[in-house]
């Protein structure tokens, strides 16, 4: 009788791992603590809930995350298939309707008779049994202690989620639809809220002075650069936001025919377009302060906030000390760590870790050799980064700096990235043919 593999965690990585294992004819117990227990960042009872942005970033293969998603498509990622099926207009990015995406992944899980979803809190597991741990960066309690025991201790950083507003409460007299540089090809998938110089300066002043949530756990906290709270960015200098989430480049206000001084972008949260999130506005401000300060944006002066931004602690293992490049633990090779807990950062990266861990858990069950993806691929380079010695290890997103250099010296940056992508996909397609 084929051994059953346990997958602990029903998020992006856990669902991807479960589906990869199941597709290979192996029974899976998928453990999910919701709805009985939710972390501070979760609100839904569903599997595969997106707790921060609803965007999986760019689809352009000349971007690192776009290339990684294309590799995942070549490797038949089940979760990326669901994301593509639930995509909503978002310029050149892959953004999804949260509820439909979660439902699609849940339906995919339930369509496999050899996957059993077990609801309830897991506090322990047998490190001798083939198990995928994908409990995410918010793992707590006895399970957190168990993982720390097996891996030599957990590290942490803090990140934040952006607010969501009701579409009907946005004053469109002070906004215009457009995609940066017209990448969407249509009338525009983003609502852009321009700010004059005076409006911007006042906004930054109030933002930096606004009252933040103060919790003992957050004192002296390390914040992941890719999820930096907007008020922290603003405090770095008056123009920091204008070169970050409020950058106006590639946009022209149709009312003036000119580029605005600064722009706040709003992105659809669902296919119906009834909700929008404030792009790049992760925050740790008190809820009342969020309403007060963000309502200074002219288009949001009467905004109805459907969800305020929140900040939370993310844990991850010290991967170079604990993890192999196939996502198994060095001291406990039957235990695989996937998702953000492994030290990757980002939605696509978490899915990629789940895919690799799931494939290798299945191969371990059948007595096969582990698959370590080639270093020329984004997935392979990311997994090797996790396993390489690094005394100052920090979570990593997909980026071209992880890839080995090209044979030729290409000066044009976009062409260089394109060639990185061509090479990566060649290696991944070869690997995909060999993976059973």
Query: What would the pLDDT profile of 292-329 be if each residue is shown by its tens digit?
Result: 999 999 999 999 998 888 777 778 999 999 999 999 99
Token pair, residue 24, equals: 């290979």
Domain identity same for 305 and 323: no
Which contiguous run of DSSP H or E holds residue 96?
strand 93-96
Domain identity same for 258 and 278: yes
Comparing CA positions, the residue from 294, 271, 268, 292 lying closest to residue 281 is 294
Local structure of 396: helix, strand or coil? strand
The pLDDT value recorded for residue 217 is 46
Give the residue from 283, 309, 335 where a domain finishes: 309
Domain identity same for 220 and 92: no
Residue 75, classified by CB atoms within 10 Å of its CB into exposed (0-12), middle (13-18) or buried (19+), is buried
Token pair, residue 60, equals: 């352009």
Who's near 386: CB < 8 A, 6+ residues apart?
A: 319, 320, 323, 325, 327, 342, 343, 344, 396
Give the residue from 309, 331, 349 where a domain finishes: 309
Domain identity same for 149 and 173: no
Q: What is the DSSP letter of 402?
A: G
CA dist 80 and 368 (Å) reads 26
Pairing, β 311-317 against β 154-160 = antiparallel
The pLDDT value recorded for residue 61 is 94
Local structure of 29: helix, strand or coil? strand
Domain identity same for 49 and 142: yes
The total number of structural domains in the chain stands at 2
Provide the terminal-to-terminal Cα distance of the chain, rounded to the nearest Å.
19
Which contiguous run of DSSP H or E holds residue 133?
strand 131-133
Give the predicted TM-score (pTM) of the model.
0.77
The pLDDT value recorded for residue 269 is 83
Domain identity same for 329 and 428: yes
Domain identity same for 168 and 299: yes
CA dist 154 and 317 (Å) reads 5
Which contiguous run of DSSP H or E holds residue 278?
strand 275-278
CA dist 11 and 270 (Å) reads 19
CATH number at residue 146: 3.50.50.60
Domain span at residue 191 reads 164-309
How many other β-carbons are positioned within 10 Å of the β-carbon of residue 258? 11
Domain identity same for 280 and 336: no
CA dist 266 and 170 (Å) reads 10
Domain identity same for 170 and 143: no
Local structure of 117: helix, strand or coil? strand
Domain identity same for 211 and 262: yes
CATH number at residue 168: 2.40.30
The pLDDT value recorded for residue 39 is 63
Domain identity same for 220 and 269: yes
The pLDDT value recorded for residue 148 is 93
Comparing CA positions, the residue from 271, 27, 11 lying closest to residue 133 is 11
CA dist 434 and 94 (Å) reads 28
Domain identity same for 207 and 343: no
Give the residue from 309, 344, 376 where a domain finishes: 309
Residues of the chain scoring pLDDT < 50: 1, 216-220
The pLDDT value recorded for residue 96 is 96
The pLDDT value recorded for residue 184 is 65
């Amino acid at each position: 009788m084929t051994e059953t593999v346990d997958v602990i965690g029903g998020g992006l990585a856990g669902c991807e791992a479960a589906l990869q294992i199941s597709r290979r004819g192996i029974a899976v117990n998928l453990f999910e603590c919701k709805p009985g227990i939710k972390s501070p960042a979760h609100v839904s009872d569903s599997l595969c809930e997106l707790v921060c942005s609803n965007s999986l970033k760019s689809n352009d293969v000349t971007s690192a995350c776009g290339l990684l998603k294309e590799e995942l498509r070549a490797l038949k990622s089940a979760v990326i298939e669901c994301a593509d099926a639930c995509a909503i207009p978002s310029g050149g990015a892959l953004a999804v309707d949260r509820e439909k995406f979660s439902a699609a992944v849940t339906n995919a899980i339930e369509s496999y008779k050899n996957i059993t979803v077990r609801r309830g809190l897991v506090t322990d597991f047998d490190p001798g049994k083939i198990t995928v741990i994908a409990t995410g960066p918010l793992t707590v309690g006895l399970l957190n202690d168990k993982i720390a025991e097996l891996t030599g201790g957990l590290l942490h950083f803090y990140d934040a989620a952006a607010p969501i507003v009701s579409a009907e409460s946005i004053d469109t007299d002070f906004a215009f639809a457009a995609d940066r540089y017209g990448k969407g090809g249509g009338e525009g998938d983003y609502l852009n809220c321009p700010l004059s110089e005076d409006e911007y300066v006042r906004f930054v002043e109030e933002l930096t002075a606004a009252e933040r949530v103060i919790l003992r756990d957050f004192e002296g906290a390390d914040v992941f650069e890719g999820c930096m709270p907007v008020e922290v960015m603003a405090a770095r200098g008056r123009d920091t936001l204008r070169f970050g989430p409020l950058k106006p480049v590639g946009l022209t206000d149709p009312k003036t025919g000119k580029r605005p001084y600064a722009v706040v972008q709003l992105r659809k949260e669902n296919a119906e377009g009834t909700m929008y999130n404030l792009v790049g506005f992760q925050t740790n401000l008190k809820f009342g302060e969020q309403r007060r300060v963000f309502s200074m944006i002219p288009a949001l002066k009467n905004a109805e906030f459907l969800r305020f931004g929140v900040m939370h602690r993310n844990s991850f293992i010290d991967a170079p000390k604990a993890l192999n490049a196939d996502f198994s633990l060095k001291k406990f090779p039957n235990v695989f760590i996937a998702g953000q807990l492994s030290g990757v950062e980002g939605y696509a990266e978490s899915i990629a870790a789940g895919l690799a861990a799931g494939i290798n858990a299945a191969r371990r069950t059948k007595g096969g050799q582990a698959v370590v993806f080639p270093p020329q691929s984004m997935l392979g380079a990311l997994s090797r980064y996790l396993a390489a010695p690094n005394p100052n290890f920090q979570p990593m997103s997909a980026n071209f700096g992880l890839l080995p250099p090209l044979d030729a010296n290409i000066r044009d940056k976009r062409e260089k990235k394109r060639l990185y992508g061509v090479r990566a996909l060649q290696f991944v397609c070869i690997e995909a043919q060999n993976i059973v």
